[in-house]
Amino acid sequence: MPQRRSGIQELRLSRKKHLHNLDIKTALKKTVKKFRLAVESKDAKEAKTLLATVFKKIDKAAKRNLLNDNTASRRKSSFSKLLKNIA
Q: Distance between CA 3 and CA 6 in Å, rounded? A: 9
Question: Mean pLDDT over residues 17-21, rounded?
Answer: 97
Q: Per residue in 45-74, pLDDT tens?
A: 999 999 999 999 999 999 999 999 999 999
Contacts 24+ apart (CB under 8 A), 43-51: 44/83, 44/86, 44/87, 47/82, 47/83, 47/86, 48/83, 51/79, 51/80, 51/83
Entry pTM: 0.87
Amino acid at 42: K
Residue 52's domain comprises 5-86
Q: What is the CATH number of the domain that holds 21?
A: 1.20.58.110
Predicted local distance difference test score (pLDDT) of residue 87:
75
| Cβ(50)–Cβ(79) below 8 Å | no
User: How many domains does one find in the chain?
Assistant: 1
Range 22-34 average pLDDT:
97
